[in-house]
Chains A and B, each alone.
Chain A
Amino acid sequence: MRVKLLLWALCSALLLGLLSGCGSDNGGAAQTVDGKQKVTLTYASWGSPNEKKVQEQIARKFTEKYPWIEVNYMHIPGDYVTKLTTMFAANQAPDVFPIYKAQGLQWAEQGKLYNLNEFLKDDKELTPDALIPNSILYWDKDKIAGIKVTEEAFGLYYNADMFKEAGLPLPPTKAQEAWTWEQFLDTAKKLTIDNNGNNATSPAFDSSNVKQYGVRFDTWIWHLMVPSNGASVISADKDKLNLEDPQVIDAVQKMADLITVHHVAPSPTQSKNIPSPAVALQSRKVAMDLDGQWVQLDLGQSGMNYGVGVLPKLKESKTILFGEPEVISATTKHPKEAWMFYKFLLDAKSGLEMHASGLWMPVAKEWYTDPALIQQWATVKPGHPEGYTDAIMNQTLKNGVNSYDYYLKNSEKINAIINPALDQVWLGKKTVQQAFSEVSAKANAEFKGTYPEK
């Protein structure tokens, strides 16, 4: 009896749902607005519920400005590439969407994406000079796969209270004052404390019972210090991977030593238990975090007293850039309108609240140079700490270097060979030199050339 009742309830819920679902569909006959043919674009993106809300707002604001262009926003909360791949295969790709750099370049090569240079070369409003350096992704000479929709840059984030309590000077924010590796390591040691209260400079330091680590970083950013060592993962002649270059090896080994020799950074194993860097800093598991500027959103929301400095330097002060590109699919039926929306997306004014929150960084140069614009985002608290304008904003503009995967063809596959080799490095079983020399030939066999810088 009870089962029957339940069944009835479920069936009526089903019917109700079906009815209300059908009601929302409306016929899409050709319409005109303001004397112009009505156009509908599809815009897809990833992101948290907060980002989703802002994206919806951007789409709405755009239609307010251009009433004949409607933008359907499609939120893809997971398995982003799988869904997009499927849509591409069925010729249903969204008109505009952000994509991971390696995929974007690869897809552009395969003819799935629009060559944005066709718009950019004649555009009066948006010119390459108006953008910050490194923001345009070329897949071939003069062929543009996409432009970064927001920039992403690395810095040295820290818990300011922990520095104060330890009586240590805060990390410098200006490039010319950047810590040397030795200064950085020394600070990290002083901030690494074991269960008995000894820090890592003490001979009694017990490296197997560490309560607080000096620094943390994600191992996928193993090449963080390579540009600073005046080197690159890709050889100068762009004909192979530089895995046997002593400068590259040295820069990666220095990162590994933080974990395996000096014990001032948690191993990947240990940091798996603290999935959020912001939590690690806030809960005093670590004092410093080598991380991208996007952590500011969480750090700001946590209410903690945090700050940011420039990365330590080996030979010269550099930061690595990571922003993902926004692209237009080659199959779009409305390229002109898609480009109009594209420019609207790139304009920091459109999603200002995400820029102000600390998560996004603009790509138009004026936002880095015009004080009136800067104060609308780069100094807004709590998403931007003291020192941000120097340590991240100016550093991005002046000393930013694109991560090597913007230029390396077949980079996903090459990474799939390099990363497992590095696993043994983080565990302390092999040196970087050993690991790289073992896979260098295999990785180079997958080397398929590079993408141009312009």
Chain B
Amino acid sequence: MQSMTETAERRQTKVTKSSLSSIRRRENWLGWLFAAPAILGFIIFVLGPMIASLWLSLTDYKVASTPNFVGLDNYQNLFNGTDAFFYKSLGVTLYYVILSVPLQIIVAFFLAILLNQNVKGLAFFRTAFYLPTIVPLIASSMVWLWLFDPDMGLLNVIMRALHLPESQWIYSETTVVPTLVLMSLWTVGGTMVIFLAGLKDIPDHYYEAIEIDGGNALHKLIYITIPLTSPTIFFNTIMGFIGGFQVFVQPYVMTQGGPNNGSLFYIFYLFREAFTFSNMGYACAIAWVLFIVIMIFTFLLFRTSQKWVYYEGEGR
């Protein structure tokens, strides 16, 4: 590490000030050029539909009928409690996000570290841990429905054998969200793979340095692994939040929002308004509220990131 900075520094002195600033100037438009496809893509494929949905959120659009402008009526209906499902679904979703995101990050990180060790059969273990992410939900939901069965399900059979209290799992209003969180831990494979890629980029000699200083595994974790993977931790956290707020398929397939709206996830509620009740204008308003919520969360995370995310290339 040290030798690298040294060489670079030596070389840098050779570069004159003026040539550097011309590079900077060129970089300004080159940067836009490199980013142009992505920016164009955003303007063409995303911005239009976004503006359209924002406008529709101010109408009573029912699909195929002409939308009438209703001002902020849709938003008012949401916040003044006329629609009992709104706060319920927001609560359910927040509960899920706050419970699931930290757990998923920790479990995925832990698994990635395990699978980054030098063990026999690594290929097998990695594939095994990633498998639940690939198996179609239709197949895995069948297993889950059986596991969670309060009478005959494997989980309660185990609980009984261990003399632990049994649970109603997804069949009770109070346990359905924690159970879905537990279920989501099976599919952290994607997050785990991103961590694995991050871990791979940590040079071995960092760890060697700690070993020379007499540090143990915990020291390595705290002083090397976590700081150096903080960009991936940050990425996974942001994505966890964005994805968590928009969780849809699992509750849709497993619980249909029940029991007693205990798993009425926000997107499930939104989808129902949009396509079952054909209240597209109203659904757009629901979507924009979520948009704002997610944006605030993301913004706050970006703000804190300056304190704990370490980019080697930033040279801060």
Residues of A within 8 A of B (CB): 81-82, 85, 88-89, 91, 93, 103, 106-107, 110-112, 208, 268-270, 272-273, 331, 412-413, 416-417, 419-421, 423-424, 427, 442
Which of A88, A273, A416 sits near B64, CB closer than 8 Å?
A: A88
- A100 nearest in chain B by CB position: B276
A85–B260 CB distance below 8 A? no
A419 CB to closest chain B CB (Å) equals 8
Measured between alpha carbons, how far is A422 from B49 in the docked complex, in Å? 39
Q: Any chain A CB within 8 A of the CB of B259? A: yes
- A416 nearest in chain B by CB position: B272
**Which of chain B's residues 252-305 have a Cβ closer than 8 Å to chain A?**
257-261, 272, 274-278, 280
Contact with A along B119-156 (1 / 0, CB 8 A): 00000000000000000000000000110011110000
Q: A272-B149, A423-B260 are in contact. Are A110 and B275 (CB under 8 A)?
A: no
A427–B278 CB distance below 8 A? no
A269–B149 CB distance below 8 A? yes
Contacts of B75 in A (CB 8 A): none
Measured between alpha carbons, how far is A112 from B62 in the docked complex, in Å? 10
A427–B63 CB distance below 8 A? no
A270–B64 CB distance below 8 A? no
- The 30 listed contacts between A and B (C-beta, < 8 Å) are A81-B275, A82-B275, A85-B274, A85-B280, A88-B64, A89-B63, A89-B64, A89-B280, A91-B64, A93-B64, A110-B64, A110-B65, A110-B278, A112-B63, A112-B65, A208-B151, A269-B150, A270-B151, A272-B145, A272-B149, A273-B149, A412-B277, A413-B277, A416-B85, A416-B272, A421-B260, A423-B173, A423-B258, A427-B172, A442-B84
B63–A111 CB distance below 8 A? no
Q: Any chain A CB within 8 A of the CB of B171? A: yes
Contacts of B278 in A (CB 8 A): 85, 103, 106-107, 110
Contacts of B173 in A (CB 8 A): 423
B259–A420 CB distance below 8 A? yes
B147 CB to closest chain A CB (Å) equals 10
Measured between alpha carbons, how far is A23 from B253 in the docked complex, in Å? 39
A377 CB to closest chain B CB (Å) equals 33
Measured between alpha carbons, how far is A81 from B276 in the docked complex, in Å? 7
Contacts of A273 in B (CB 8 A): 145-146, 149, 152
Contacts of A91 in B (CB 8 A): 64
Contacts of A106 in B (CB 8 A): 277-278
A70 CB to closest chain B CB (Å) equals 25
**Which of chain B's residues 24-69 have a Cβ closer than 8 Å to chain A?**
62-65
A33 CB to closest chain B CB (Å) equals 32
**Which of chain B's residues 134-187 have a Cβ closer than 8 Å to chain A?**
145-146, 149-152, 168, 171-173
B259–A424 CB distance below 8 A? yes
Which of A85, A270, A272, A424 sits near B63, CB closer than 8 Å?
A: A85
Measured between alpha carbons, how far is A91 from B64 in the docked complex, in Å? 7
Measured between alpha carbons, how far is A424 from B260 in the docked complex, in Å? 7
9 closest Cβ contacts across the A-B interface? A423-B259, A88-B64, A269-B171, A423-B260, A420-B260, A420-B261, A89-B63, A82-B275, A112-B64
B149–A420 CB distance below 8 A? no
Measured between alpha carbons, how far is A272 from B151 in the docked complex, in Å? 12
- B153 nearest in chain A by CB position: A273
B277–A420 CB distance below 8 A? no
Measured between alpha carbons, how far is A93 from B172 in the docked complex, in Å? 41
